[in-house]
């Protein structure tokens, strides 16, 4: 059996969802899910910007996008251009990266969701609207961190990327929006520099998708205005041999496995996980919250069977 931190996290949140995802998958993807696909594709590509855009195109070729109030093409462009800049920023900060190979975990295989630098540092990339102590603590205690520590026996670095709050279908922040000079259209700013008096009233805020500004120039200006330090932050969670917390987590994982295997689509709903402020809405809501009894096969316009 191939195990991953995502499976344990899903089971903790809702066994019903785990059972549904064994046999079916949603035909659509959220904007946040699409951005993860772009960033994760970008950081392992020779050209991170092109890799991010290619990954977004690959997903949208087979899935619809939950675009909210935006047109689908606008939402995809917004997400793709953000993923492009974020991937380039991570490459500049961390260097080339690769995915980990599967490793043995008891009688099973562990499929890691981490990325490794050339200096053998493992990173977990986490996209959040903002970064604070509560966010750091929550992800440090999650299966995505503790499960990887237990399975790999190596330090894990959590790298948080603050992508801004979502309003009106777009993420509001420096990855996607800047100020442009009213006359010199090529002059960009993201924040008040030290010793500066700020902006005149003529400076206009613009979305990157409404310009032709390339990713490297956008990122250069973010660096010049010193905004990246607040947008990318890393915390290392050390692996310590003999740490009873990790030993207990590993024992818990093997204890949980039989229950995971028995998970059924008839299991009670875990309503607290239907809407998450970070992960967003569960894609199985149309099935679980249907006002009348429905079988998953009757929702073929929303879900499709997984390939065997």
What does the pLDDT read at residue 145? Answer: 97
Mean predicted confidence (pLDDT) in 270-295: 90
- The total number of structural domains in the chain stands at 1
d(CA 90, CA 260) in angstroms, rounded, equals 35
Are 263 and 18 within 8 A, CB to CB?
yes
Asked if residue 19 belongs to a domain, the reply is no
Asked if residue 204 belongs to a domain, the reply is yes
Angle between helices 72-94 and 215-224 (to 10 degrees): 60
Give every CB contact of residue 280 below 8 A, 6+ residues apart in sequence: 30, 32
Residue 194 above 60 pLDDT?
A: no
Asked if residue 225 belongs to a domain, the reply is yes
Residue 258 structural domain: 2-9+26-290
Q: What is the pLDDT of residues 202-225, one digit of tens each?
A: 778 889 998 889 999 999 999 998
pTM equals: 0.93
Asked if residue 308 belongs to a domain, the reply is no
Give every CB contact of residue 104 below 8 A, 6+ residues apart in sequence: 110
Give every CB contact of residue 287 below 8 A, 6+ residues apart in sequence: 20, 294, 296, 299, 302, 303
pLDDT band at 76 (very low <50, low <70, confident <90, very high): very high
Asked if residue 217 belongs to a domain, the reply is yes
């Amino acid at each position: 059996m191939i195990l991953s931190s995502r499976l344990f996290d899903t089971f903790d949140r809702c066994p019903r969802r785990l059972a549904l995802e064994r046999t079916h998958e949603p035909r659509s993807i959220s904007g946040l899910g699409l951005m993860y696909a772009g960033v994760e594709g970008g950081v392992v590509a020779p050209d991170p910007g092109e890799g991010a855009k290619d990954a977004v195109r690959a997903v949208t070729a087979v899935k619809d996008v939950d675009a909210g109030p935006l047109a689908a093409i606008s939402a995809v462009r917004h997400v793709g251009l953000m993923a492009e800049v974020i991937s380039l920023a991570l490459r500049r900060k961390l260097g080339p990266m690769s995915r980990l190979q599967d490793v043995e975990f008891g009688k099973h295989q562990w499929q890691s969701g981490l990325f490794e630098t050339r200096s053998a540092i493992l990173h977990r990339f986490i996209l959040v609207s903002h970064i604070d102590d509560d966010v750091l603590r929550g992800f440090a205690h999650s299966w995505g961190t503790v499960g990887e520590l237990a399975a790999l026996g190596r330090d894990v670095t959590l790298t948080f990327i603050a992508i801004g709050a979502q309003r009106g279908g777009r993420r509001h922040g420096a990855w996607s929006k800047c100020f442009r000079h009213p006359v010199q259209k090529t002059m960009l700013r993201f924040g008040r520099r030290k010793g500066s008096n700020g902006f005149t009233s003529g400076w206009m805020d613009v979305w990157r998708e409404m310009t032709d500004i390339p990713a490297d120039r956008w990122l250069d200006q973010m660096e010049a205005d010193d905004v990246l330090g607040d947008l990318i932050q890393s915390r290392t969670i050390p692996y310590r041999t003999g740490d009873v917390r990790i030993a207990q987590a590993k024992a818990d994982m093997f204890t949980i496995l039989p229950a995971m295997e028995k998970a059924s689509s008839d299991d009670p709903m875990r309503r607290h996980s239907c809407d998450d402020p970070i992960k967003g809405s569960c894609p199985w809501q149309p099935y679980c919250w249907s006002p009348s009894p429905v079988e998953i096969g009757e929702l073929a316009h929303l879900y499709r069977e997984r390939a065997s």
